[in-house]
Amino acid sequence: MVSAAEFRKLALGLDGAEARPHFDRTAFRAARIFATLAPDKKSVNFKFAPDEQAMKCTVHPQAFSPVPNAWGAQGWTTAVLSKLTAAEARAALEMAYRHAQPKPKKRAVKKSRR
């Protein structure tokens, strides 16, 4: 079981991560939000790719489920903290964190002179 305090510590341990209010939740972000903690501190939402979401929900359905709306179709996934070990929470955070990194800048294409 992972407590909300332990989850917060794990999330803020990721390079450049910070916590900010986001509506009624606490959002953990780098360049973008990668996880949010519910006000009751019993569940979190992670930003996964849809295939990652499917894998997490299949492997550990007691802990993970898609957010039941359009956000869930985009990969947002709810996890119950009491069903996660610290290692599972860390792995989920690291997976979601990768999606919160700045997108690479597009290189300008030089036009050739002819």
Q: Give tens-digit pLDDT for 5-41.
A: 999 999 999 999 999 999 999 999 999 999 999 999 9
pTM: 0.88
Q: What pLDDT, on a 0 to 100 scale, did the predictor assign at position 110?
A: 66
Provide the token pair at 94.
């690291």
- 42-65 pLDDT, tens digit per residue, is 999 999 999 999 999 999 999 999
Residues 26 and 7: their CA atoms lie apart, in Å, by 12
Are the C-beta atoms of residues 55 and 46 closer than 8 Å to each other? no
